[in-house]
Structure 1
C-alpha cells in the first residue's frame, strides 16, 4: 500500500513552492517596473519607449470619472459598484434541529470608464476588476425582514424552512480614492493613455504603494518557502517510515520462509535416514515436530496460542483468531477459541 499521507504532503509542498516562486518573481518584476512621479511625463515616455516590448509602469493618483455612478443605498459616487442580495433562513437538518443558512439571490456589477488623476495628468485604467489587489469598500449593508404571511410561513415550515429576511450589500470604488496601478501603458490613436493588463507579468490595482506591494510579496514568498520545507520534511518522514516498516516486514517474512525451508529440509533428511520407523509417541517425534516454527499462519509475527474447537487445530494467535469464523487449515466452522499456555 502506498504512503498516501507522505505523497500528499510532498505534492502540497510542491504547490507551495510554486506559489512562493511566483510571488518572488512578481516581486522582482515590480522592482524593475518604471516608476512615474507625475502622470504628465507618461506621454513623453511612451513616445520614446521601445514599441516592440510592453512598457510596464506603476502610477499613482486619485480615482475620477466623467460619468460616475450614484449609489442607490449609500449615496456615494463611484466607478465600480457591486450589489449582492442574500436570502437568510433557518433550515431543519436530519437530526431535527434548526440551523441558520443563506443563499445568494442577486449579484450585479456596474462599471463606468474611469481614470487616475494626480493633478498633472490623467491615465485611464482598463480591466481593473480582474486585477490583483482591488478592494471595494462596503458602502451599505442592510437587512430586510421577511413578511409574516401565515400561508407563506406555513408552507415554508412544512418544507423545513423559516425565512428570516434578505441582506443587501453594496460595495463601491468611490471617486477620490488613492490607488496604485501596475500595468502596461499604451496610447491610442486619439492620444488617450491607458493602463491595461500586460500579456505577461502582474497587473495590480491596489490602495497600497508600490513599496508595500513589494514588501508583502516578499513576505508571502518566504512564508510559502518555509511552509514548503515543512511539508517536504513531514512527507519524507512519512514515506521513510512506511519504507522502513515495509523493509522490516519483508525481512521478517523472508526470515520466516527461510526457517520453514530449513525445517522442511531437515525433516526430509530425517525421513530419508529412516526416522519414520520410530514410535509416534517417542521423544524423537516430539523434537522433530518442534523443528517447525511456532508462528501464526495469518500474521506471521506472533506465536500461535489459540486452539480451535471442535477441529482442534493450533495455528493462529489470539489476535488473528478473533477475526476468523472458519479454521484456515480445514475450513471447519469455529465454535470456540481456547487460549493455550506453554508454561
Structure 2
C-alpha cells in the first residue's frame, strides 16, 4: 500500500471512529432504514406479481372485458375490484409472448415496408438497438502516484465513462403458439426506466493512441484512457420475453405499459422465476435490515454512553478548575504581586515569557511540561474556558512554579 493509500485509509478510519463510533452507528442506521424500505417495496411487488394473472396474448381481450365488467359492477355497488394500476379497464397482468414488429400485424399497406431496425455491425433485425462506448482506464499509479491517490479514487465517480444511444421502433408481442398474427399486444415503452432484455451482438476493443499529455498523466499517476469498448445490444425479432405491466385497450387493441412500482417490465424470466427472485431478495433485505439495525443501535448506544460520560467528566474537571481559580483569586494573587518585582529587570531574550515578553519564565504547564510563561501569564492561561499550552496547543490542567536551586 502506498503512502497516499495509507493516508487516505487513516483519514477514513479517523472519520469513521469520530465521536466514539457515532458516525459508524449513523451510517449503519441509514443502511438499515434503506434495507427496510427496499424490503417493503420488494414485498409489495412480490404480492402484486403473485396476484396478477399469467395469461397468453390471445387471452388479453377476455381479461380486459372482465375488467370492464368489474368496473360496471363496482359502479353499481357490487362485484370484486379487478382494477390494478389505474381505472378504465386497466389491469396488472403477466404476459409471455414473442417480439414482432408492429407493421407485421397492422394488416395495411404499411406492412410492405417492415418497420424494423437493422444492426449495422451484425445485420440482425431488431426493434431496439442500443449502442454504447465505454472507456477503459489504466491502473498504474505512476512514479508520483502517492500524491493523487485520493483524488483518483474520487475522480472515478465523476469522470466521463462514454456514451450510450438507444433507438426503438413500435413493436408488439404475439402468441408463439399461433401461426396467425391476429392476436397481439402493443408494448408501450414511454416513461419506462426498467432494463431491457437485450442481446449482445457486437463487441470490440479499440485502442487509443497515446499523446504527450498522456505521458504526463501516467508520470503523475493520473488515470488515462487506454481503450474504447464499442458494444451493440439488440432486442431481436422472434425473442420470447415476459411482460409485467398494466394492460388496457388502446385504439381497439390491447396495450401494455410499465408500472413504476414493480422491478420488472420486459425480461427473460418467467413468472415463477420472478417470484423466487423477489422472495429471496425480500428475505435478504429483511434480515440484513434487522441485523444491521441491531448493530447500529448497539453502536449508537455505546457512543451515547461514552460521550455522556465524557461530558460529565469534562464538567467535573471544569468545576474543579473553577474552584482552583477561585482559591487562586483569594490566596495566590498577593504572592504573584510579591514575586513580580523579582522577575522583572534585565532578563535575556531566551528566558522571557512568550506572552508578555516582560517577566522571566517561571511556570511549567501540566501535563505537557513546557516552561514558556511567567506565573502571572500562566495564571491567565489557566483561567481560559479551554486552557491550552501556547506552544503545543495541548489542553492543560494547571501550572507549576519553577524555582532555581
TM-score, normalising length: structure 2: 0.58
Q: Quote the offset at 1:27 in angstroms.
A: 0.5
Residues 179, 131 of structure 1: CA spacing in aligned structure 2 closer, same or farther, 3 A cutoff? farther
CA distance in 1 between partners of 2:29 and 2:211 (Å): 54
CA distance in 1 between partners of 2:323 and 2:142 (Å): 62
2:379 matched residue in structure 1: 329
Q: Is 1:21 the equivalent of 2:40?
A: yes
1:145-199 CA distances to partner (integer Å, 9 max, x unpaired)?
457xxxxx6555576588755431001112222211111111123x221111247
CA distance in 2 between partners of 1:333 and 1:103 (Å): 49
Residues 135, 256 of structure 1: CA spacing in aligned structure 2 closer, same or farther, 3 A cutoff? same
8 Å CA contact 1:88–1:103 kept in 2: the answer is: no
1:182 matched residue in structure 2: 244
How does 1:154-173 map onto structure 2 within 5 Å?
160=217, 164-173=226-235
CA distance in 2 between partners of 1:134 and 1:212 (Å): 17
Moved more, 135-144 or 82-91: 82-91
1:44 matched residue in structure 2: 62
- In structure 2, which of residues 273, 294, 297 is the aligned counterpart of residue 233 of structure 1? 294
Q: Quote the offset at 1:29 in angstroms.
A: 0.7
CA distance in 2 between partners of 1:328 and 1:244 (Å): 35
- In structure 2, which of residues 21, 24, 41 is the aligned counterpart of residue 5 of structure 1? 24
Residues 249, 207 of structure 1: CA spacing in aligned structure 2 closer, same or farther, 3 A cutoff? same
Residues 160, 7 of structure 1: CA spacing in aligned structure 2 closer, same or farther, 3 A cutoff? closer
8 Å CA contact 2:116–2:126 kept in 1: the answer is: yes
8 Å CA contact 1:182–1:204 kept in 2: the answer is: yes
8 Å CA contact 1:131–1:205 kept in 2: the answer is: no
How does 1:101-140 map onto structure 2 within 5 Å?
104=161, 106-118=163-175, 119-120=177-178, 121-127=183-189, 130=192, 132-140=194-202
Q: Quote the offset at 1:128 in angstroms.
A: 7.4
SS in 2 for 1:132: coil
Residues 73, 334 of structure 1: CA spacing in aligned structure 2 closer, same or farther, 3 A cutoff? closer
Q: Quote the offset at 1:209 in angstroms.
A: 0.6
CA distance in 1 between partners of 2:185 and 2:235 (Å): 17
- In structure 2, which of residues 306, 311, 316 is the aligned counterpart of residue 245 of structure 1? 306
1:275 matched residue in structure 2: none
TM-score, normalising length: structure 1: 0.68
SS in 2 for 1:8: helix
SS in 2 for 1:329: helix
- In structure 1, which of residues 43, 51, 59 is the aligned counterpart of residue 95 of structure 2? 59
Residues 61, 22 of structure 1: CA spacing in aligned structure 2 closer, same or farther, 3 A cutoff? same
CA distance in 2 between partners of 1:253 and 1:160 (Å): 51
CA distance in 1 between partners of 2:208 and 2:320 (Å): 80
CA distance in 2 between partners of 1:158 and 1:315 (Å): 55
- In structure 2, which of residues 120, 132, 140 is the aligned counterpart of residue 84 of structure 1? 132
8 Å CA contact 2:259–2:265 kept in 1: the answer is: no
Matched residue count:
288
SS in 1 for 2:62: helix
How does 1:250-329 map onto structure 2 within 5 Å?
250-253=311-314, 255-256=316-317, 311-313=361-363, 316-318=366-368, 321=369, 328-329=378-379
Q: For structure 1, list consecutive stretches of 5 or more residues without a partner in the other structure.
A: 148-152, 272-309
8 Å CA contact 1:46–1:186 kept in 2: the answer is: yes
CA distance in 2 between partners of 1:30 and 1:63 (Å): 22
Residues 13, 197 of structure 1: CA spacing in aligned structure 2 closer, same or farther, 3 A cutoff? same
Q: For structure 2, list consecutive stretches of 5 or more residues without a partner in the other structure.
A: 1-17, 72-86, 105-114, 146-151, 219-223, 332-359, 382-388, 393-398
2:118 matched residue in structure 1: 70
8 Å CA contact 1:68–1:78 kept in 2: the answer is: yes
Task: Point out the structure with the larger strand share.
Answer: 1
1:208 matched residue in structure 2: 269
